[in-house]
Amino acid sequence: GARTPSPFPLTDGNRWTLRDTERNTPRTISARRTSDGMVVSGFPGLADTRVRWSGQTLQVWDTAQGRWEALFRFGAAVGESYAVDLGDTFLWRSLVVTVRSKRAAMRDFRGRAVAGCTRFTFESRRPIADAGLEEISFAPGVGPVRIVDQTIAGRRVLALASRSLR
């Protein structure tokens, strides 16, 4: 049958710019191929991070623990939860990730609806004052569409403003 477009198309040179819906400040997420493999930059709470696909799961290299760890399980059923514990990160340590929807409709920065999104929510097992991820949504063939996190300045919603996919 037809292949479903990737929810996070990681090709060398792909870029996504999300903007804070209140402050209009940009955040760019990008993918690039290196001698160590694919690297994603600009993801909340993560430095430049090696990533790879394993089936429908996006894995990241956990340098602290020297192993690949599932970050986004796109193949998981709605309602399924799993643990993420990246040792050398602040926001991605001791998290419970839940697949909330695979058909969510999200709005991009210009208010246009983006259908069919996979929406992940996050709950910290060790709550951090003034910081934390709340949710991230990805659209097939598009990538990250919406990121909600908690900062010292309050809740922040980042919505996709533009993308450059190769």
DSSP states of 91-136 as a string?
Answer: TTSSEEEEEEEEEEEEE-TTS-EEEEEEEEEEEESS-BTTBEEEEE
What's the residue count for the chain? 166
User: What pTM, to 2 d.p., does this model score?
Assistant: 0.94
d(CA 119, CA 104) in angstroms, rounded, equals: 7
pLDDT of residue 126: 75
Half-sphere CA count of 7, side-chain side, radius 13 A: 23
pLDDT of residue 2: 64
Give the pLDDT confidence of 98-125 residue by residue, as tens digits: 999 999 999 999 999 999 999 999 998 8
3-state helix, strand, coil in the chain (%, to 5): 0, 60, 40
* 86: pLDDT strictly greater than 80: yes
Give the pLDDT confidence of 31-51 residue by residue, as tens digits: 999 999 999 999 988 989 999
pLDDT of residue 117: 98
pLDDT of residue 37: 96
The amino acid present at 96, given as its one-letter code, is: V
